[in-house]
Structure 1
């Protein structure tokens, strides 16, 4: 695979998440048809990877393997996007069900590097679970994206790679998830501190700002040469008091921010090269 030029900006879209209700946000894509259309719109706008949570017929978060598999297949049939399934699910999903997400055969999976207070809840990721999920991703030849909610989790990544070696494909891609109540703040200072903690094996990284930290985190990430994750999983307003109309609107804004610093959207082929996904 060819070398990806430094001006190429990987934009990942996280369109749904597990926290927002359909009743509270009717424009949230929760059906398979809505998700596929969202993926097509976001790919056309500049996204190269999609981070997926699925919902059931009642629009509630689910880890149903049949729905996960059908979603991966539909997205592969309709787009060239890298399909990344969330192994986090919702904060209430059992660890056993989260391990089975990889049975749906995505291109990539999220892999959170530690337990985090998540608002009033706890996002549970004990070390034995992290190790089991990582080894499973290696066996299944699925490329993980290491999700870092706090600086200790960046240090845990050092420990994981030292113990089990590199992920499938040999590339190490991280995403700083910032601004979650209970995790690291969504500030430039926190991002710089996180970057200083990353192991030398990291080959690329992105950042996500939750809620009102979306723009500060995006600007800080671009200033440090990183990539971006955007989407309605992470923010529901496009400006103060103005609801987001679609995920493509957030991708479009990310593209515009990239253009300001002379970065252009990465193609799906370039993204596959970056992450060594065939």
Structure 2
């Protein structure tokens, strides 16, 4: 299989998340039809992977397996995007429900490498849970994206790989989630420190800046050869006082930054090569 071009850029879109309510942000895609429409627009704008949180009929976060499966199926039928399900769900979801996310058979899943303070809440990811979820991803042939909220998570990733070996597909892709209150700051020095500490087995990395750190993190990642995750899960304004109207706007902005950095958004097929799918 040919290698992915060196100047290509993986743009992942995270369109919904679990924190923002539909009432507070009516343009947030929360139904399956809205997610499919968003996915199509974002694929056309340059996204190659979609990071999915699912909502129920009342627009509340849910990990109901039937809803997850229906969403995965709809996205696969309508787009070529790599479909990644969040195993984080909401910070209030029990660990047992989060393990069952893989029953929906996504292409990829998020796998957060440690517990972190998350605003006023705690995002719980104890070591035994991380190990169980990782082994389950290997058994189910689902490619994990290791989410790193702090430098301790980078160290934990090395420990996990040393203990259980490489993921399904043999590639190791990570995403730095930066700027969460309680996690690492969304700054270039923090990203430099995180990348410098990555285990040698890591084959690709991306970065996500939350809120006002979106652009600083994106620019730092591009300057270091990393990839990008953008979307309304992570930021709801284009600039102070200017709301985001659609996820495609954020993907288009990322593609524009990529062009300025002489990077080309990769296709979903190239993303599959990059991730070992």
- In the other structure, the counterpart of 1:236 is 236
**SS of alignment partner, residue 175 of structure 2:** strand
In 1, Cα distance between the equivalents of 2:271 and 2:124?
Answer: 30
The reply to whether residue 262 of structure 1 matches residue 262 of structure 2 is yes
In 2, Cα distance between the equivalents of 1:120 and 1:104?
Answer: 30
In 2, Cα distance between the equivalents of 1:246 and 1:82?
Answer: 20
Q: Please give the residue correspondences for 1:207-246 in structure 2 after superposition, counting only pairs within 5 Å.
A: 207-246=207-246
**SS of alignment partner, residue 153 of structure 2:** helix
In 2, Cα distance between the equivalents of 1:275 and 1:21?
Answer: 32
- In the other structure, the counterpart of 1:132 is 132
- In the other structure, the counterpart of 1:59 is 59
In 2, Cα distance between the equivalents of 1:101 and 1:247?
Answer: 24
In 1, Cα distance between the equivalents of 2:97 and 2:157?
Answer: 23
- Deviation, 1:6, is 1.1
The reply to whether residue 250 of structure 1 matches residue 227 of structure 2 is no
**SS of alignment partner, residue 207 of structure 1:** strand
In 2, Cα distance between the equivalents of 1:93 and 1:2?
Answer: 40
In 2, Cα distance between the equivalents of 1:35 and 1:15?
Answer: 8
- Deviation, 1:2, is 1.3
- In the other structure, the counterpart of 2:16 is 16
Summarize deviations over 1:128-160 as a string: whole Å, max 9, x none.
Answer: 000000000000000000000000000000000
In 1, Cα distance between the equivalents of 2:150 and 2:139?
Answer: 27
- In the other structure, the counterpart of 2:195 is 195
- In the other structure, the counterpart of 1:168 is 168
Runs of 4+ in structure 1 off by over 4 angstroms are none
In 1, Cα distance between the equivalents of 2:84 and 2:132?
Answer: 18
In 1, Cα distance between the equivalents of 2:248 and 2:174?
Answer: 23
- Deviation, 1:240, is 1.1
The reply to whether residue 274 of structure 1 matches residue 274 of structure 2 is yes
TM-score, with structure 2 as normaliser: 1.00
In 2, Cα distance between the equivalents of 1:37 and 1:263?
Answer: 26
In 2, Cα distance between the equivalents of 1:201 and 1:241?
Answer: 42
In 1, Cα distance between the equivalents of 2:18 and 2:168?
Answer: 27
In 1, Cα distance between the equivalents of 2:20 and 2:6?
Answer: 35
Aligned pair count reads 277
**SS of alignment partner, residue 21 of structure 1:** coil
TM-score, with structure 1 as normaliser: 0.99
Unaligned runs of 5+ in 1: none
- Deviation, 1:241, is 0.8
In 2, Cα distance between the equivalents of 1:9 and 1:197?
Answer: 22
In 1, Cα distance between the equivalents of 2:178 and 2:62?
Answer: 24
